[in-house]
Each structure stands twice: as structure tokens, then as C-alpha cells.
Amino acid sequence: MRPAISGPLGPARSPGARPGGGSPAGRRGAAGRAPERGAALLVVMVAVAILTALAVDLAYETRVSLQIAGNARDELKATYLAKGGIALSRLVLSFQQEVDDAFPRIPGAPSPPRPQLWRLMSVDSELAAGLLGGAPSPRAEEAGGTAAAAGPRPGAFQVAIEDEGTKMNVQLDGLGTGLLGAQVQALYQLVCDSRWDALFDREDENRLRVSRQDLLVYLRDWVDEDETTSALAASFTPGGCAMLTPPNPFEAGFGDENYPYDRGDDRYRAKNARMDSLAELHLVAGVGDAFMAAFGDAMTVYLTPDAKRNVNTTDRSRLLELARIIADPPDQPLLADPAFAERLQKLVLERTFNGILSLSPADFGQLVESLVVSVDASLLAEGPKSPFTDRSSVFRLRAAGRAGDVVKTLDVVLRMEKIQPGVPMPGRLVHWREE
């Protein structure tokens, strides 16, 4: 064995020694233990990732469950707010009936103007707070909105009341009332304008073309009691909207009234009974989405067969319809002037203080005559054969309740009835729909 050699650069290494020192076996052992120290870190990272995913999923599920519970709470609250609005509206309309009874009709005497309470006051949560006590609802400005914002404010309700008596009654079942002729004539004048020709000069999906006269017959056949088609007994002026009808504008025909409904894939039969809702009009031949978009807001099916049309409206189009019905002759050129309806509406608003006070049919006829349009005075006289009145007993209520971000809407039709004179009633529900 050679001796170790030392020198100025340091101790001499033996021939078998390698840089780094230590034996090869020791170095291999150290290299084998290095991966074991990294495995612990990997296990910890995987465990943290799994626990983080579980925690995020649990937090999300908790937040969703809390939101669902909050929406269910708000929906329940909004529903009962809307129902509370319906109850308050029934109370207001019951007071209106008492006011109407305080001004009885006297034959031959002019009817004094009566206040329209449901037009005078806004039926909402603030009215409820004022009448019944409690804190008023927060103002729209405080909630970040404006006073003209659409819909009720958070935690509040609003009710829009419509007088169904001012609309066109399309239930053609008043055969023994003596009012059916005027009712059919008014309905024909509603649809006879030339701007609606596109609704009647085309075929539907069943290749059926329905004229204006056919529509009147189909409406009658839908509610009559027999299975045969009806025929329209009326005379028409060429090129105009004038229609002369006898007291009974229909006579018996010989065809099958179900012919229009046997042409499609979904065949059905005429109901032969009164319509229960306005949506049922879609089943009548000739009535489609375009027709309802044009005339749906002006029609009703909730009036009784002997119900008369109320002249107390401030809507310009309905005022023009009334003027055309009472005009004699009905095709006077002045009625086609767009400025006529505007002037008539202005007169009605001035006379009724923006709809707060009522007008009698005779008063309305005087306003039309003041615009140089001659009228048929027999239609405006008080009596059982007159198709007009100044009182209504059927109203449509659209109540919207809001709680948080949830809005619940109720569409209700109310018929004010009395068991006996002098006994106020809250009204009978004839239609109820929740949205």
C-alpha cells in the first residue's frame, strides 16, 4: 500500500477515494431516502385540494338552499300581498255599490253624477296602511327606483281595476232580453273597419276563411243550445259599417254548426253553453292570436245576458265605438275624422273631472250631439230596451304583490251581487288565475 502524500494544496487522497467523501454504499442510501421526504408534501396537497372542493360544494349547496328558502318565503309573502289587494278592492267596490244605491234611478228624471270611488283612489298598500293602520311601504325613491317605476314597490301591492261593463260582450246568448240586436250591431261595428281586412281575407291553418258575418254566426253557435248552424238576419249598407238588425238577429239554419271544427287534426265540437273565460274565445272559428291582439282588450265574456253597456269610460277608442253605435245614421262622415275621437274624449274628461264622476247615457248623447253628430235618442232613453247604462256590477282586478325580487300576479273577475237590497256584499268571484 502506498503511503498518503501530503503537500501544500492539502492532504493527499488515497487512490480509492472520490470527491464528496463517504463510501458509495452510504451515498446510495442517502439518494434512496430523498423521494420519501417529497411524498408527504404530495399527500398533504391532495388532501387540501379534496377538502377545498368539498368545502366549496358545501358552501354552494348551502347558499342555493338558503336562496330557495328565501324565494319560497318571498313568494308566499307576495301571494298574500296580492290576495290582500283583492280583498281591499272588494271592499272599495262594495262601498261603490252603496254609493250607487244612494242615487236611485228615477224614470224620466236625469241621473245625477255619482263619484266613482274605484277611479278616485289608488288601491295599493299605502291605501291599506291609511285605512287599516300600520307602517307604510317604503317609497320607490328609497329603494333606488322612481315613483313611475312599473309594478309595485318591494313589500307592497298594487291593484288595477277595469270595468267589464264598458267592454264589448261577446256572449251572444241574450235572446230573450231584447238587447241581442244592439249587441250584434255593436260587435259588427267593432270589426268592420277596413284596417282589419287582413284578419278576415286570409285562410287559417285549416284552410278556413271566416268573414265578419261568419264570425257573428260562429259566436252565436258556440253558446246556443242546438246543433244546427244559425243564419244572420240583418241588412248591411254597401261599403259601410251600418247594420240593421231585428230584435232577434239570428234565425235557424240547416247546416251543421260543427263543420268549422271538423277540419283540423284536433277535432272538437261547439260548446253550446256560455264561455267561462276570455281564453275560450280561441276555440271559436275565426278567432286567433292576431284577432285577440287587436280586439281582446275591448271584449268580455263575464257579463250576464241582460247586462247593458256602461257609457262611463275615458278610453278614446271605446268612446268612438259608443258614438258610432248611437249615431243616426251610423256612417256619418264626421265619425271617420281622427280629430272627432280626440275632441269627444276631451269633453268627457272635462265633464267627469277625469273620470271621477259618472255620466248618464243621455248626458253622453248630448256630448256627442255637441260635436255636430246626430244620435238616436231612443237608444239613450231610460228603459229595459235601452242597451246602455251608467252602472256596472262586473269588474276585473289585476293584483300584483311584490316581496324582495318575487312578483305574484292575480287575475280576478268579480261580480257585485246582493242577496237583498241594502245588504252589502263583497262580490262573487267568477274567475281566478294566478301567475
Same domain, 178 and 216: yes
Of 46-50, 106-110, 197-201, give the lowest mean pLDDT range.
106-110
Residues 43, 376: contact at Cβ < 8 Å? no
Do residues 381 and 360 lie in contact, with contact meaning Cβ atoms separated by under 8 Å? no
Give tens-digit pLDDT for 192-212. Answer: 888 899 899 888 777 889 999
DSSP 8-state code for residue 308: P
- Look at residue 149 in the predicted model and tell me its pLDDT: 45
Segments forming the whole domain that contains residue 284: 171-300
Contact 365, 377 (CB under 8 A): yes
User: Looking at the structure, do residues 183 and 296 belong to the same domain, yes or no?
Assistant: yes
Q: Is position 30 within any domain?
A: no
Question: 207 near 186, Cβ under 8 Å?
Answer: no
- What average pLDDT does range 129-134 have in this prediction? 79
Is residue 212 domain-resident?
yes
What are the CB-based long-range contacts (under 8 Å, 24+) for 187-191? 187/216, 187/219, 188/212, 188/213, 188/216, 188/241, 188/243, 189/241, 189/243, 189/321, 189/324, 189/325, 189/330, 190/295, 190/298, 190/321, 191/215, 191/295
Whether residue 422 lies inside any domain: the answer is yes
- The answer on 250 and 188 residing in a single domain is yes
Residue linked to cell 238587447: 179
Question: To the nearest whole percent, how much of the chain has pLDDT over 90?
Answer: 47
Q: How many domains does the chain have?
A: 2
| Domain membership flag for residue 81 | yes
pTM of the model: 0.80
Same domain for 234 and 291, yes or no, is yes
Residue 11's pLDDT band, with cuts at 50, 70 and 90, is low
pLDDT digits (tens, 9 = 90+) for 24-45: 555 555 555 555 567 788 888 8
The average pLDDT across 291-305 equals 93
Nearest to 425 by CA among 88, 98, 82, 104: 98
d(CA 202, CA 288): 12
Give the separation between CA 110 and CA 105, rounded to whole angstroms: 8
* pLDDT given at position 201: 86
Q: Looking at residue 419, what is its pLDDT?
A: 64
Examine the domain organization and report whether 109 and 192 are in the same domain. Answer: no
Instruction: Please check whether residue 269 lies inside any domain of the structure.
Output: yes
In a domain, 290, yes or no: yes
Could you tell me how many helices (H) and strands (E) the chain has, helices first? 11, 12
The answer to whether position 160 is within a domain reads yes
The CATH number of whichever domain residue 263 belongs to comes to 1.10.40
**Cα 300 from Cα 298, distance rounded (Å):** 7
**How far apart, in whole angstroms, are the C-alpha atoms of residue 246 and residue 317?**
26
Per the DSSP assignment, residues forming a β-bridge with 331 are none
Single out the residue of 208, 323, 223 nearest to residue 275, CA to CA. 223
